Structure formats: structure tokens, C-alpha cells
Amino acid sequence: MVLPASLRMLARVLVVATATLAVSCGNSDDGARITVGAGDSVESSVLAEIYAGALARVGARTSVAPHLGSRSDYLAALDAGRIDLIGEHNGALLAYLDAKNAERAPDKVPTALSMSLPEGLVVSDAADGTDLRPRVVLSTEAATHDNVRTIGDLTPRCETLTLGVAPIPDLITLPPVLEQVAGCHFAATVSFPDAAALRKALLDGQVQAGLLTGPPAAVPGSTDGLTMLSDADYAIRTENVLPLFRKGVLDDRQIKKLNYVAGELTTDELAKLIRDVRDSGANPAEVARKWLDDHSL
């Protein structure tokens, strides 16, 4: 039987529609795309790629939005919904959101941070193995002579000392308040352009104490001839890496994956990833992929 022209046309339309539906079902999206943001630091870029890669491995559709600027810029992007997740430091984020909050210890900061978060934003587990706090350093000669091993040992002497402060580059920026050492009121503070200049000043006796704004592992050799003081009492607020994200964007399985990442990431590993990108020109996505592979994530 020969179909009328109108029926033949309808049949062709139905065939095309059926084929299109089959293709669509075969390539269905597992939910909306999750956009992970990155600020301007190397650390932020590396964390964004780690989080995006980890989420992709549990079936999420992810993308990375790079070079979003400073903390105020990327938090604005998060608030506006242009990104869904960003890597942060718990102490720095608390200081930014609530400058008057005095909590410093790792068992207190998470609760204080949760109470300070704007409506609609949440965090998952912090990476306890990451310690991104500033470090107080002395020349080894001075530390040995005065028997100073901890910040507590230094505290009674602070008012007679000049403190030199130097940045550790390529880390997520700390608010200025976090460059202070609780209980220490130094006679004077001098800024240096980098860790090498501060090291020289300490060894030459130009300053008597130094503060590096992050872990020296990010700049190898920065503490040669120096002694880093321990800080078990958290005179400097805890700084652990954690993801900050919009409420309702991630499901339980995705949050669990990020918690696995938190359980594996360490200071030394993160410092190496940063150095690989900064010093060797490695692609952040590639170093993140390898790190995830190495940890079976």
C-alpha cells in the first residue's frame, strides 16, 4: 500500500525524532554541570583541578573557571552562582567572614567557620594533613643560644625583637590579621620581598625573628640555617585546605569523594604540586590527575 504524501512525511519526522531521542538518552547528563572556581594563585588552580577531577570520577560533569581574582572576587562569583565550588583555607575564610572571631585551634575553627558562613554556603571536611599556617623562624644560632624551640618560648622576648615578614608565593592569600602571632607584640616589623631576603636578614642579624606567610616547603631552601618554631598551642590560627560550595549542589556521594580527598592531601604534597606548576611549567590539570591516580581517588 502506498502512503499519502502527508503520511509519508509524518513517518519520516517520527523516525528522525525517535533517532534523536535514542541519541539523547544514550548521552544523558548526570545532573547539571558543577563549575569549580580558581582564584589567581597557583594553589587555588591546583585545588580546583583536584576537586573537579575527583567529582568527575564519581560521574559529575565538571568544569574549571580559572583566574577569578582575589577572595572577594571569587566569593562574589560563588554567591552569584557563576561557580559552584572553590578551594579555601578554613582559618583565612573565618578571618575574612568574621574578623573579630578569636578562635585559632583546629578543634574550634570548624564550628566558628560554620556559624560565620553566609546562608546557602557550606563546607565539607578540611584536609587535616595540610598545615598552611605562617611559620615563625629564628636563625639556628640564635635559637640554640637562647634555647628557643617554640613560639611560647619566644613570647616573653617578643617586645625586644624586630620581626621580619616575607611572603610565601603562590598560596591562597591570608588576611593581614593572620600575619599576627597571638601573645607576641614585637618592637618593630619589617617587610621583605621574599623568603630569601628574610633569611639573609636573619642570618646577618638585621632582624631577630622572622615570619613566613606559609609553609617553607613551597620554597625549598628558604629555611637553610634557620630554626622553625613549633606552635602546638596555635598562636597562629590553623590553616587547613577545604572546599567551600553552594548548598544543594553536591549529592552525598560527591561530598564523600571530597572527604576522601581531604583525608589524603598533605602539606608536602600540595607544596610539591605548586612547585611543579610554578617552577616546571606543569599543567595544573595534569598534576591533579596524577595526584588523584597516585591516591586511587
CATH of 135-228, one of 3.20.20.70, 3.40.50.12780, 2.10.50.10, 3.40.190.120: 3.40.190.120
Q: Which residue has the higher pLDDT, 7 or 84?
A: 84
User: What does each C-alpha distance from 236 to 150, 180, 197, 271 come to in angstroms?
Assistant: 12, 7, 22, 20
pLDDT score at 11: 40
* pLDDT, tens digit, 9 for 90 and up, residues 69-124: 999 999 999 999 999 999 999 999 999 999 999 999 999 999 999 999 999 999 99
At residue 206, the 3 state secondary structure works out as coil
pLDDT score at 177: 67
The owner of cell 517520527 is: 14
Strands of the sheet with 241-246, listed across from one edge: 62-65, 34-37, 85-89, 241-246, 121-123
> Is a pLDDT exceeding 60 seen at residue 13?
no
Q: Which contiguous run of DSSP H or E holds residue 65?
A: strand 62-65
* pLDDT, tens digit, 9 for 90 and up, residues 125-173: 999 999 999 999 999 999 999 999 999 999 999 999 999 999 999 999 9
pLDDT score at 178: 66
* Pairing outcome for strands 85-89 and 241-246: antiparallel
Supply the CATH classification number for the domain 34-131+240-295: 3.40.190.10
- Asked if 86 contacts 250 with a C-beta cutoff of 8 angstroms, the reply is no
> Is a pLDDT exceeding 70 seen at residue 285?
yes
User: What residue spans in the chain does CATH classification 3.40.190.120 cover?
Assistant: 135-228
User: What residue spans in the chain does CATH classification 3.40.190.10 cover?
Assistant: 34-131+240-295
Residue 72 CA to residue 104 CA, distance in Å, equals: 22
| pLDDT, average across residues 54-62 | 97
